[in-house]
Chain A
Amino acid sequence: MRFLTFLLSRLVTYILVIWIGVTMVFLVPRFLPSSPVEAMMAKVAAQGQYMEAAQIESLRNSLMETFGLKGSLFQQYTGFFKRVLLTGDFGPSFSAFPTPVSQLVAQALPWSLGLLLTSSVLGWLLGNAIGLFAGYRKETLASKALEFLAMLIYPIPYYIFALVLIILFTYVWQIFPFSFYIDANKPLSVGLIKDIVYNSALPALSIIAVNLGWWVISMKALSASVAEEDFVHFARLKGVSEPRIMTHYVARNALLPQITMLAIRLGTIFNGALITEILFGFPGVGTLIYSSALQADYNLMLGTISFSVIAVATATLIVDLTYPLLDPRIRYR
């Protein structure tokens, strides 16, 4: 019964958070000076077309109508929710009018998900493994060296780190492809998968390397403190072998906060990885979000960020619901 009320109240919060989040994304851009019409005018101007005054004026006047931005804010708001909830249609993107937002998102999302899912999980696994080892044997030189190394890599600005990787591994030593090229027209085959892996390896590596630092450092701190706990000493006295203590006693407990962090981190992969996409030419969701914000493309912003909002909210929901399962000391509240 207790669980049920908790579940219910948590679900209500979940829906409320998503609703508030999406509303915020709906409202904030509309109160800002930049509008999709102006953004389109700027884009047309930047394309190097020769236009007369009358043409500029007529274009501007018609865009309001074309973009469907007439009507009061409330009308647009309710219309938006009705459309999305009933048909899942986020409308046309303004900056790439009349392409539907769902088409753009469907194109970009699988790439971001694929790359970020694998690199986040790999980075988490590797980082925690290293951190566990470093924290368990925290007095050794190896441990200190590992921690120091992680500390050095973590704060390097990602743009520089990725750029150096590109210069080193695609230009100086031509191991990886210089520019992202996957002929997605090809049918699914081993060749296509090989292409994908080959092209995604370096971006994945850059993300893993940068995330690694944080997982190593935090896991080291966590496992070091857990290793001090009484039950670990007790296990040692009982005669349990060191490796077993490390993996079954210390790791299991130290991993708990790391799992919640991972869950939330996974939620944020729907944000894409903007700088990775810019530098590696990766066709992901990050650049969609970025350009939608720059060009005040309301529909695209809502389409992409809604996914992100739902993903992160869901991640936190799952964490909240399952954490008590993992740690029996916490009770449902």
Chain B
Amino acid sequence: MKAVKRHPRLVIGLVLVAAFVILGLVMPPFAGHDPRDWNTFPKHIKPNPAHPLGTTGLGQDTFWLLSYSLRNSLILGVLVGFFATLIGVTLGVFAGLKGGWADRGLSLLMDTFIVVPSLPILILLASLLQGRATILIISVVLIVFNWPWPARQIRSVALAMREREFISTAWFSGESTLTVIRTEIFPYISSWAVGNFINTVLVAIAVESGLAVIGLSSLQESTLGTMIYWALQYQALLAGRWWWILPPVIAIVVLFVALFLVSSGYTQYATAKRGR
């Protein structure tokens, strides 16, 4: 209880995230059927005890479909967030510390990916994959387009840090670059990295939803974005079928709020712990 009082954000955020994880990762196997299949149930049924969120216009149970889509969105978000942050931070630190040609080459790479807009490339890739895009492939593409942002930020931090004393001390005492990175720099930026990770998760889910709504995501798999896509395709909004269109929208909003609470709560917690 003391923990809740002192770090309300973090705790609430973690509780919400845990709820989503349970809903998205633990529950789907209990559905008893593949929620993606069409015509399992009668269409457009309002919420009732048998179907807590009613059924969709495709004859699917909204609740189980939601939990299945949540799973895919979470997996996509976490994959992209984790790898984009990992690659971005590593390369950014490397470029910043090493300097010279390594820095120039990596900076060039980063800037190129920042400069080329991702949407047309995504459309082109969708045509290459010919609609066979899975969650994995979309994740890879999003990782490729998202690592430069943290990399660039971290690079300037690493550049600044290069001048600071404790780095020079470590260097002069003969530590290799990697060890320096690991022992001195990493703790300094780890809290930033966690924040970036969470933010990238959000960006990934948001971008995928945005693409799904115009029909560019993987429509075989179900994510929160594709759920909204199908609901719009069948005019759920205009027809007033709130139980189909609202749950995925609310899920995205609440998921964001939860992740944001965790992110800013963690920052507060970390600063409190560092005693500032």
Quick check: B214 and A274 within 8 Å, CB to CB? yes
* B116 A309 Cβ-Cβ under 8 A: yes
- Residues on B with beta carbons closer than 8 Å to the beta carbon of A268: 117
B107 within 8 A of A: yes
**Residue A17, interface by CB 8 Å:** yes
- B245-257 near A? 1/0 per residue, CB < 8 Å: 1000100110111
A316 within 8 A of B: yes
Any chain B CB within 8 A of the CB of A190? no
A290 pairs with B213, CB closer than 8 A: no
Interface residue? B47 (CB, 8 A): no
A156 to B238, CA, bound (A): 18
For B160, the chain A residues whose CB sits under 8 A away are 329-330
Q: Mark B232-276, 1 if CB is under 8 A from A, else 0.
A: 100001100000010001001101110010001001000000001
User: Please, how many angstroms separate the alpha-carbon atoms of A290 and B232 in the complex?
Assistant: 20
| B114 and A34 contacting across the interface, CB-CB below 8 Å | no
Determine whether the beta carbon of A28 is less than 8 Å from that of B225. Answer: no
Q: Chain A, 262-294, contact with B by CB distance < 8 Å: what is the 0/1 string?
A: 001000100100110010000000000110111
With contacts A13-B108, A157-B213 known, is A152 near B253, CB below 8 A?
yes
State the main secondary structure of chain A at its contact with B: helix
The answer on a CB contact under 8 Å between B127 and A34 is yes
- The residue that B213 contacts in the complex, of A29, A151, A275, with Cβ under 8 A, is A275
CB-contact partner of B253 in A155, A167, A294, A301, under 8 A: A155
A242 CB–B CB distance under 8 Å: no
Assess whether A312 is interfacial by the CB under 8 Å rule: yes
Question: Given A159-B210, A293-B120, are A17 and B115 also a contact pair (CB < 8 Å)?
Answer: yes
Evaluate contact between A17 and B249: CB separation under 8 angstroms: no
> How far is A28 from B128 in the complex, measured between Cα atoms in Å?
10
- How many angstroms from the CA of A163 to the CA of B245 in the assembled complex? 13
B115 CB to nearest chain A CB (Å): 5
Q: Is B123 on the interface with A (CB-CB < 8 A)?
A: yes
Nearest 8 interchain pairs by C-beta: A155-B256, A293-B123, A293-B120, A159-B213, A17-B111, A312-B115, A271-B117, A21-B115
What residues make up the interface of B, taking CB atoms closer than 8 Å to A?
A: 104, 107-108, 111-112, 114-117, 119-121, 123-124, 127-128, 130, 156, 159-160, 202, 206, 209-210, 213-214, 225, 228, 232, 237-238, 245, 249, 252-253, 255-257, 260, 264, 267, 276
A residues in contact (CB < 8 Å) with B: 9, 13, 16-18, 20-21, 24-25, 28-29, 32-34, 151-152, 154-160, 163-164, 167, 217, 221, 228, 264, 268, 271, 274-275, 278, 289-290, 292-294, 296, 301, 305, 308-309, 312-313, 316, 329-330, 333
Q: A293-B120, A316-B114 are in contact. List 8 more A-B contacts (CB 8 A).
A: A18-B115, A20-B112, A21-B115, A157-B213, A167-B238, A305-B116, A305-B120, A330-B160
A-B contact pairs, 20 of them (CB 8 A): A16-B108, A21-B116, A32-B127, A32-B128, A155-B256, A157-B225, A159-B210, A159-B213, A160-B245, A221-B267, A264-B114, A271-B117, A274-B119, A275-B214, A278-B214, A289-B119, A293-B127, A313-B111, A316-B111, A330-B156
